[in-house]
Structure 1
């Protein structure tokens, strides 16, 4: 069986590519990084090491790679011939790979072909649905009709911490032992071939929101508050009792909202929160605050990991104070190497923090969450300035 995976970065190699290979697929990575593609082609394998006490290493073999920029026809042909297509490129990059996938589907749908599932493994709600919209925007009506019958885009929820890393072997990846990959089987064709390692579910939204509002919300909360305290890694930040207490408080707020909305068992969700906090503390991982906190504008957007659970809590009559504090800390995330951080800080200087917060969160200035956010912002700013003096 052949799988085409878009995105040969650490997550692509250390999570999706690894699982697909272990499930028996020959994996073809598609990327635009020529050095990475060339090395994958030349070696046909790469090592993945678990960030655990035993540091177990698996060598992923039988893989190849294509550069969709310099080999567009070959990349499209690979899609046309694939048994499965997956992505891990970042939701903002889906628009750039849609053309290659569309060209592949045009070739595939010219004749008889088996049903194809295309799964976007991104940190976003409805990632595959978003990809489908991008791809369909590049197809004519006749091809769309054929695709409706033979191509499916099931949404997925993925969870595995893969930190920024540098190794002498540039193909090596270190990943945490924990992972979860859930796929909405209600969006798949009957008779699909299950992939070992994927958890197929009938309703995906609870899994997506549980992951996004616990792992991602907690992770960025640790990053933003940790940054203000001068920590360089999440692991160091989580050793600070104040940071750890804040992250737990955030996850108790999102947890209450999730239990209220989806009917999760409170005790089971509490145990899930404990597991997530231990993952953040994993001493075998070194995850930089600057990486986890990067792109604060995206993380502050209305449908993302901070505003969305805060709005859910507000609408459910539940607390959101700690979430507002994380938003406030995000507005103080000042990292010159991060373009979104630079844009955010420029906006604060130009139009003020209140208008900036409203602009990027989508919340009106008079909204109660905004009132709490501004109160937390002033407190954090004063505390940070006092710490520097």
Structure 2
């Protein structure tokens, strides 16, 4: 069988990437540092996925094993030498920690096996594989770098599947939604690109990254920040609130207008993508806590992230992002004490006020059109 290595044996690894690789004829070796999880995978050599929605189904996933990279490094390095594909789903902040071991494996591989290999970071971030590549290169010898350049690709990816927070009695069971999207940049790949079920090789990945980020992530955050202000606890309940649904449709109208003008997406096809996204959020089986979706306001208010970036681009197109301005103001008011970033933002607000916090966390210049729009929304909170 073809061999795949997947870093991260958590719910997204098992319930999304691992499943698609197995369905495409790969034996998947999960790499993780959770010894209990590794032992369970090796004991059962299989797990179940429940697709939750209108037509629920259970998928039995076989041909899986696992390696603890802390205790069985030699096994991991040998696996990298012979792998046909390497993927990750571990979280953007963990990429730097797996880079040294990947570098060790590649040092050995380029001496023993010059078959091209692609390493795809399937993370909820832009340019994840490139970020991982840069971390890996910090640990490569001068001798190995040109060979890694020649034979190892790090194609960036955009991934999308909701895997809700869950507590299952069956230890390896994962519940996921029916929808999934996995787009990978063909231009950064090495060798013949593999055909993998559910994976689309694209030439303009940025368009697909922004479509997902500014529809799914922007929409999810908008619902969460508005729902939090109304005291609604979960996303499914928020999607039963006509005011919130009408509002998020306005947000999607704004981001959709920007994306269609920028990338030439077909308007009817994009409207269908929006409708699919709305249906996903209204799936009662996937409901997530509002505070979990809203968490990390400091990051989400960043100039290149899901709220400020589309708003800035709309203004550059001569449009008015009124709905997005309202979400930015709501995000600055997210004061959930169980979230570290929310506490940090509120501490800054308390000391400096909302207007200074607006420029500090978003990079929006005082006196700009977007600043004025958000400032007006912030003032509405004072009434």
**TM-score (normalizing by structure 1):** 0.94
1:47-85 residue CA offsets vs partner (Å, 9 max, x unmatched) = 110112332001111211222233334333332321111
Listed one character per residue, the Cα deviations across residues 9-43 of structure 1 (whole Å, up to 9, x for unaligned) are 21111111111111111111112223222222222
Give 1:142's aligned residue: 143
Query: Structure 1 residues 105, 244: CA separation in 2 closer, same or farther (over 3 Å shift)?
Result: same
Query: How far apart, in 2, do the equivalents of 1:305 and 1:85 lie?
Result: 28
Residue 181 of structure 1 is matched in structure 2 by 182
Segments of 5+ residues of structure 2 without an aligned counterpart are: none
Given the superposition, is the C-alpha separation of residues 76 and 327 from structure 1 closer, same or farther in structure 2, using an over 3 Å criterion? Answer: farther
Quote how far apart the aligned CAs of 1:382 are: 4.1
Q: Distance in 2 between matches of 1:332 and 1:44?
A: 47
Q: Distance in 2 between matches of 1:53 and 1:273?
A: 19
Which residue does the alignment assign to 1:211?
212
Change (3 A) 1:264 1:239: same
Aligned to 1:141, what secondary structure does the other structure show? coil
Aligned length: 382
Aligned to 1:357: 358
| 1:64-113 CA-partner distances (Å, limit 9, x unpaired) | 12222333343333323211111112222212221221121112122233
Distance 2:169 2:255 in 1: 40
SS in structure 2 at match of 1:264:
coil
Q: Which runs of 4+ in 1 moved over 6 A?
A: none
Q: Greater CA deviation, 13-22 or 368-377?
A: 368-377
Kindly state the Cα deviation for residue 46 of structure 1 after the two structures are TM-superposed.
1.3
Mean Cα deviation higher: 308-317 or 345-354: 345-354
TM-score scaled to structure 2, two decimals? 0.95
1:301 Cα deviation from its structure 2 partner: 1.4
* Worse overlay, 205-214 or 292-301: 292-301
Indicate if the aligned counterparts of 2:158 and 2:209 stay in contact, CA closer than 8 A: yes
Aligned partner of 1:105 in structure 2 is 106
Q: 1:367: Cα distance to partner?
A: 2.5
Q: Distance in 2 between matches of 1:100 and 1:374?
A: 48
Measure, in 2, the Cα distance between the counterparts of 1:211 and 1:87: 19
Counterpart CA distance in 2 for 1:93 and 1:145 is 26
**1:126-150 deviation line (CA, Å, top 9, x unaligned):** 1111111111122122211110100
Check conservation: 2:3, 2:84, Cα contact below 8 A: yes
SS, match of residue 60 in structure 1 = strand
2:292 alignment partner, SS class: helix
RMSD between aligned residues? 1.6
Structure 1: segments with no counterpart, 5+ residues: 384-389
- Equivalent-residue separation in structure 2 for 1:272 and 1:328 (angstroms): 27
SS of corresponding position for 2:286: coil
State the alpha-carbon separation in 1 of the partners of residues 39 and 352 from structure 2. Answer: 47
Q: Verify: 1:271 aligned to 2:272, yes or no.
A: yes
Match of 2:230 in 1: 229
Report which stretch shifted further, 353-362 or 320-329.
353-362
Relative to 1, partners in 2 of residues 1:36 and 1:356: Cα closer, same or farther, differing over 3 Å? Answer: farther
For residues 203-233 of structure 1, the C-alpha deviation after alignment (integer angstroms, 9 at most, x for no partner) is 1111111111101110111111111111121
The CA distance in 2 between the partners of 1:153 and 1:312, in whole Å, is 28
Q: Which moved more, 1:345-354 or 1:179-188?
A: 345-354
Q: 1:345 to 1:74 in 2, by over 3 A?
A: farther
Secondary structure, in 3 states, of the residue corresponding to 2:144? helix
Give runs of aligned pairs for residues 72-111 of structure 1, distance below 5 A: 72-111=73-112
C-alpha separation in 2, matches of 1:229 and 1:63: 45
Give the Cα–Cα distance (whole angstroms) in 2 for the partners of residues 64 and 350 of structure 1: 52
What is the aligned partner in structure 2 of residue 387 from structure 1?
A: none
Match of 1:293 in 2: 294
| Matched residue SS, 1:142 | coil
Greater Cα shift, 225-234 or 72-81: 72-81
Contact 1:164/1:291 (<8 A) preserved:
no
